Structure 1
Amino acid sequence: MADRRALPEAEAARDWAFTPLTLGPLRLRNRFIKSATNEGMAPAGVPTRALVQHHRSMAAGGAAMTTVAYCAVEPDGRTFEDQITLDADTIKHLRVLTDAVHAEGGAACAQLTHGGCFTFLPKLATRYPLSASGGINPPGMIAGRPFKSAMALSDMARITDDFVAAAQRAREAGFDAVELHMGHGYLLSQFLSPLYNRRTDFWGGNAEKRARFPAQVLRQVLDAVGDDLAVLCKISVVEGHRRGAVLQDVVTTVKALERTGAHMVVLSGGMNVEAPWQIFGSNMPAEAVTQLQNPVVRTASRVMRLWEPKVPFRELYLRSYSHRIRQQVNMPLAYLGGAKSMDGIAQLQADGFDAVVMGRALLHDPGLVNGFAGGDKTESGCTACNACIVTMYEPGGTHCVLTGTGDPEANRQPAAA
């Protein structure tokens, strides 16, 4: 192989991007990972044939690993009823999915999540949804859950066990990796954020203390499955509100996850309630909000639009934050946030990232990675219109409105039927 420094920039980026990557016990065929983007393909919590085909297409299109979004670790951990709970009943359906991904040469990752006080469920096992701290619950105002409860030590032990059990079920279902969701305002993120975590005990205070519960969950998941599965963590590099974690807090968190043994950290951004535009790097169009079928989500989205700034999309919109983290830690880091071209990938290679995580670009064209590999494509045609975000509530599930449609019939058929 030629000296990488002598290669043209685009060729060097392609050479790097298609080099295998080892994460703990897992070897990926290249550096491209399909991000977890809520698929809307588990009505009543049952994974469907549409979900299988969705992830099969990502592997067939060249992605090294595809991530199944929002696998709740217990029923109260869901944000909506039509989400997967990674329990014994879902294993047979998810095994169909992982077999399909493996048949295409890809790896499959299950994103393990608990929503905490960010939930729209009509019923909970507890009187109030759980969070790092109790009190007023801004995410729950519109959903009729204006209060939240601080987790007791017994709650923390139980939910840690739930994460471990979900990881073990993911292994049984044939997954190659799990991603612990610690970003976007879900439960583990609520411990990391000073906006949500106002505890004065062992689990709250400065950034190092706020990272203790997420690190505990990571440690126990690693102990249970880390010899068999890659264990990743997803965090927000910027929360998008003035009382949120600052960048050095995030560096402290990443270093804590590194010490604990995470195989890689995925660097995302934003919060579902306080700063959704930070997640997507641009605003959701007004016409998309009016099409939302869920009345609670539609109302919440309209309210949020009243204060959100106007954010035009730009490629690599989280790079300024993620690059500064890359400079301060040594562990494997994956960049997420608007990568869509070989020029952008060349920049990420130069920055020293270990993998590229893509969402909308692969929804637009699941074959994009193969196009990059063959030199037929140098840039995604995704316009970041964000209309795909609301399609998760449609009968056919999440899809790009520019290049395809959902399949309602396949989304009514259980994967293992």
Structure 2
Amino acid sequence: MAGLRPHDGRQLAVSAAAYAPWRLGPLSLRNRLIKSATNEGMADGARVTDRLIEFHRRMAAGGVGMTTLAYCAVSRDGRTFEDQVCLDAQTLPRLRALTDAVHAEGAAACAQITHGGAFCFLPQLEERRYPLSARGGLNPPGMMIGRWFKRAATAADLEHLTTQFVNAARLAREAGFDALEIHMGHGYLLSQFLSPLYNQEPDARARARFPRQVLEAVLDAVGNDLAVLCKLSVVEGHRRGNSIEDMIQICRELEQAGAHQLVLSAGMNVEAPWTIFGNRLPVASMTAAAKGLFRPIAALMALRQPRKPFQPLYLMPWSSRIRAAVDIPLAYLGGVTSPDDVTQVLAAGFDSIALGRVLIHDPDLPRHWAAGEQAASGCTACNLCVASMYSARGTHCALTDQPVPAGFSHA
């Protein structure tokens, strides 16, 4: 980094703590910047493609401490889409190729493990007729493909699902991952248990019972070897979603269970996806890029999303409430766009910083910031990268539009 020349001759003061090595559970990281899990759209037929490997190698080469492979399903029925990585023995060699590529660039690799539950657009399920959720009955997301109903998970189902999370965690360890991020946000299965939108349990602690069970089982299986994180929606963006008081209670439950860090995200994929990104989504582009059944989903968003301008650090009002209530390490996510934002987040007591769109725009941003090369990201939060995840090419920045390197293919 010392060889990089400053942008416009300016040297910017960046908090030294952001670039110092630190400890996350059993894992040592070279800095506190993490590439957050963002759907890459590059797992053709559930395979780990060369493009997916290169995507994360570039993130590692750009200087993050850790990069996160998004949406690794713990079972084939746990996928939301057909083109989603499934953690099984068949994918192990290619997952190992991905972690080797990341490690060669000096970064750690994290696998985000998840189960879609009722948020499932697979044409056919292998284990059961209806997808599982915290509550049975009508399934609004599934109606878009003619799957009208979901089934409440039984005690036996919960034990089976817990075993699937544990098996996926062990396979991730075998594949060379250094950390796991259990996805408990955005409307996936564990989020469906946490949220009053899906779970009729009146108390947040009761709703957290199954997600906590999964966390404890994963920690027992791999917690001595891998850092185990949980990703949560601190605000769901829906009037019937969790309150901030509910989320504080849920975070305390996960802290007591022994999570190494919580990643504080927001929103629900179906009910309020714009809350995830802090501003409106480009519906026309999403509809144009979407294939088949995803077109009506994108069109539906156009009718519902509010007009809300993007603001840096847009999740700070909720995340700071969590920071004041728990002692567990926390990763701040949401609108970090400049070195000043990095300094402000660390000064507010957060332990690491999860970056998404700004790294899709420029994977080298951590190196630029550490060298004092530029004051702010060139990302405009246009969210066209969100639309691109549905395209044949996968997630990329519409502004920089970097071509796929020669020699890389869909295979």
| TM-score band w.r.t. shorter chain | over 0.9
Deviation per residue, 1:331-389 (Å, 9 max, x gap): 10000111111111121112100000000000000000000100012211000000011
Counterpart position of 2:162: 160
Counterpart position of 1:176: 178
Deviation per residue, 1:124-171 (Å, 9 max, x gap): 131111100001112222122221100001110001000000000000
C-alpha spacing 1:61/1:372, structure 2 compared with 1 (3 Å): same
State how 1:190-229 maps to structure 2 within 5 Å: 190-198=192-200, 204-229=201-226
Counterpart position of 2:244: 247
- Check if 1:35 corresponds to 2:36: yes
Cα distance in 2 for partners of 1:408, 1:80 equals 26
Cα distance in 2 for partners of 1:268, 1:395 equals 27
Q: TM-score, normalised by structure 1?
A: 0.93
Counterpart position of 2:101: 100
- Aligned AA (1:188): L
- Check if 1:338 corresponds to 2:339: no
Query: Match of 2:389, SS?
Result: helix
Query: Match of 2:310, SS?
Result: coil
Q: How many residues align?
A: 400
Unaligned runs of 5+ in 2: 1-10
Counterpart position of 2:285: 288
C-alpha spacing 1:372/1:293, structure 2 compared with 1 (3 Å): same
Counterpart position of 1:308: 305
Q: TM-score, normalised by structure 2?
A: 0.95
State how 1:361-376 maps to structure 2 within 5 Å: 361-376=358-373
Cα distance in 2 for partners of 1:288, 1:408 equals 25
- Aligned AA (1:127): R
Give 1:20 deviation, angstroms.
1.7
Counterpart position of 2:383: 386
Query: Match of 1:141, SS?
Result: helix
Counterpart position of 1:6: none
Cα distance in 1 for partners of 2:367, 2:405 equals 28
Cα distance in 1 for partners of 2:13, 2:324 equals 21
Give 1:13 deviation, angstroms.
4.4
Cα distance in 1 for partners of 2:401, 2:252 equals 41
Unaligned runs of 5+ in 1: 1-9, 199-203
Percent identity, aligned pairs only, is 58
Cα distance in 2 for partners of 1:122, 1:286 equals 24
Moved over 3 A (4+): 10-13, 405-414
State how 1:77-92 maps to structure 2 within 5 Å: 77-92=78-93
Contact 2:41 2:83 in 1 (8 A): yes
Give 1:303 deviation, angstroms.
1.0
Deviation per residue, 1:237-288 (Å, 9 max, x gap): 0011111100011001111110000000000000001110100111112331
Give 1:413 deviation, angstroms.
4.1
Give 1:21 deviation, angstroms.
2.1
Range with bigger deviation, 87-96 or 288-297: 288-297
Question: Which of residues 147, 150, 157 is equivalent to 1:148?
Answer: 150
C-alpha spacing 1:13/1:412, structure 2 compared with 1 (3 Å): closer
Q: In angstroms, what is the RMSD of aligned CA positions?
A: 1.5
C-alpha spacing 1:118/1:408, structure 2 compared with 1 (3 Å): farther
Counterpart position of 1:68: 69
